[in-house]
Structure 1
Amino acid sequence: MSNTIFKKLGLLFLVLVLSVVMAACSEDETTTTDANTNSDNGSANTETEESSGLSGEITVWAHPYTDGSTGEGDMWKTFASDFEAETGVKVNFEQIPWANRDQKILTALAAGQGPDVFYVIPDQMPQYAEQQLILDISQYVTDEELSGFVPTAIEATSWKGKQYGMPILQTAESLIYNKNILTELGVDENSLPTTWDEFKALAEKAKAAGYYAFSYAGGGSLNNTLYPFLWQAGGNVIDEDNNILINKPEAVKSFELINEMYTKGWIPQDSITALDHDSLYFGGKLLAVNGSGISVNRLLAEKPFDFVIAPPLKDAEQLTYGTVGMFVGSAISKNPEAAAEFMKYVTNTDNQRTFNNITQYIPTRDEAKDIFDSQQYMAQLAEYTQYAKPGIIHPEGRNIMPLVQAEIQAMLEGKQSPQEAADKSADAIDKLINK
Structure 2
Amino acid sequence: MRTRRIRVAATTAVVLSLTVAATACGGGTAGTSGSGGGGSTKTLTYWASNQGPGIEADKKVLQPELDRFTQRTGIKVKLEVVPWSDLLNRILTATTSGQGPDVLNIGNTWSASLQATGALLPWDGKNFAAIGGRDRFVDSALGSTGSRGADPAAVPLYSMAYALYYNKKMFRQAGITKPPTTWDELVADGKRLTAHGGSAIGVEGANLANNIHQVYVLAKQHGGDFFTPDGKADFTSDAAVAAVKQYVDLMAAHKIVAPGNAEYAQNQSLSDFAKGRTAMVLWQTPTATFASQGMTEDEWGVAPVPVPSGAPGRGTSVNSMVAGINMAVFKNTRNLEGALEFVKFMTSDEEQKTLNKAYGSMPSVKGAQADPAFATPSLTVVRDTLATSAVPLPQVAQESQFETVVGTAVKKLFADAAAGRPLTTEAVRAELDEAQQQMPDQ
Shift of residue 197 of structure 1?
2.6
Tell me the secondary structure at the aligned position of residue 246 of structure 2: helix
Offset from partner CA, 1:282-315 (integer Å, 9 cap, x none): 4545331113433465258624882211112223
Letter in 2 for 1:75: E
Contact 1:346 1:352 in 2 (8 A): yes
Contact 2:61 2:355 in 1 (8 A): no
Tell me the secondary structure at the aligned position of residue 281 of structure 2: strand
Residue in 1 that maps onto 2:282: 290
Letter in 2 for 1:236: D
Q: Residues 423 and 91 (structure 1 numbering): CA distance in 2 closer, same or farther, change over 3 Å?
A: farther
Mapped to 2, the partners of 1:429 and 1:291 lie a distance apart of: 27
Residue in 2 that maps onto 1:399: 404
Residue in 2 that maps onto 1:273: 263
Q: Residues 13 and 174 (structure 1 numbering): CA distance in 2 closer, same or farther, change over 3 Å?
A: same
Letter in 2 for 1:418: T
Q: Residues 114 and 296 (structure 1 numbering): CA distance in 2 closer, same or farther, change over 3 Å?
A: closer
Tell me the secondary structure at the aligned position of residue 363 of structure 2: coil
Q: Residues 72 and 342 (structure 1 numbering): CA distance in 2 closer, same or farther, change over 3 Å?
A: closer
Residue in 1 that maps onto 2:9: none
Contact 1:232 1:313 in 2 (8 A): no
1:75-94 paired onto structure 2 within 5 Å: 75-82=65-72, 84=73, 91-94=75-78
Letter in 1 for 2:304: P
Mapped to 1, the partners of 2:372 and 2:95 lie a distance apart of: 36
Tell me the secondary structure at the aligned position of residue 158 of structure 1: coil
Contact 1:7 1:131 in 2 (8 A): yes
| Equivalences, count | 393
Contact 1:411 1:417 in 2 (8 A): no
Contact 1:312 1:318 in 2 (8 A): no
1:401-416 paired onto structure 2 within 5 Å: 401-407=407-413, 409-410=415-416, 413-414=420-421
1:93-242 paired onto structure 2 within 5 Å: 93-98=77-82, 114-140=100-126, 141=128, 145-162=133-150, 163-189=152-178, 192-221=179-208, 222-223=211-212, 225-238=214-227, 241-242=230-231
Mapped to 2, the partners of 1:331 and 1:13 lie a distance apart of: 12
Mapped to 2, the partners of 1:348 and 1:58 lie a distance apart of: 20
Letter in 2 for 1:204: K
1:41-80 paired onto structure 2 within 5 Å: 59-63=44-48, 67=57, 70=60, 72-80=62-70
- TM-score (norm: length of structure 2): 0.73
Aligned with 2:254 (options 237, 245, 264): 264
Q: Residues 242 and 258 (structure 1 numbering): CA distance in 2 closer, same or farther, change over 3 Å?
A: same
Structure 2 unpaired stretches of 5+: 1-11, 32-36, 309-315
Contact 1:173 1:290 in 2 (8 A): yes
Q: Residues 102 and 201 (structure 1 numbering): CA distance in 2 closer, same or farther, change over 3 Å?
A: closer
Shift of residue 203 of structure 1?
2.6
Aligned with 1:302 (options 291, 294, 299): 294
Mapped to 2, the partners of 1:14 and 1:96 lie a distance apart of: 21
Tell me the secondary structure at the aligned position of residue 307 of structure 2: coil
Residue in 2 that maps onto 1:433: 440
Contact 2:181 2:306 in 1 (8 A): yes
131-140 or 245-254, larger mean C-alpha shift: 245-254
Mapped to 1, the partners of 2:118 and 2:258 lie a distance apart of: 44
Residue in 2 that maps onto 1:372: 373
Mapped to 2, the partners of 1:240 and 1:59 lie a distance apart of: 40
Kindly, what percent of the aligned residue pairs are identical?
A: 17
Mapped to 2, the partners of 1:7 and 1:240 lie a distance apart of: 25
70-79 or 162-171, larger mean C-alpha shift: 70-79
Tell me the secondary structure at the aligned position of residue 301 of structure 2: strand
233-242 or 10-19, larger mean C-alpha shift: 10-19
Contact 1:226 1:254 in 2 (8 A): yes
Shift of residue 337 of structure 1?
6.4
Residue in 2 that maps onto 1:9: 19
Contact 1:203 1:213 in 2 (8 A): yes
Residue in 1 that maps onto 2:328: 328
Offset from partner CA, 1:120-156 (integer Å, 9 cap, x none): 22244333211100111123337x9334433332122
Shift of residue 325 of structure 1?
1.4
343-352 or 235-244, larger mean C-alpha shift: 235-244
Shift of residue 389 of structure 1?
5.3
- TM-score (norm: length of structure 1): 0.74
Shift of residue 281 of structure 1?
3.5
Mapped to 2, the partners of 1:69 and 1:96 lie a distance apart of: 8
Mapped to 2, the partners of 1:297 and 1:251 lie a distance apart of: 31
Contact 1:233 1:317 in 2 (8 A): no
Tell me the secondary structure at the aligned position of residue 205 of structure 2: coil
The structure having more radius of gyration, on CA atoms, is 1
Q: Residues 404 and 293 (structure 1 numbering): CA distance in 2 closer, same or farther, change over 3 Å?
A: closer
Mapped to 2, the partners of 1:186 and 1:408 lie a distance apart of: 29
Letter in 2 for 1:98: V
Contact 1:235 1:246 in 2 (8 A): no
Residue in 1 that maps onto 2:3: none
Shift of residue 170 of structure 1?
2.2
Tell me the secondary structure at the aligned position of residue 97 of structure 1: strand
Contact 1:212 1:265 in 2 (8 A): no
Mapped to 2, the partners of 1:81 and 1:346 lie a distance apart of: 14
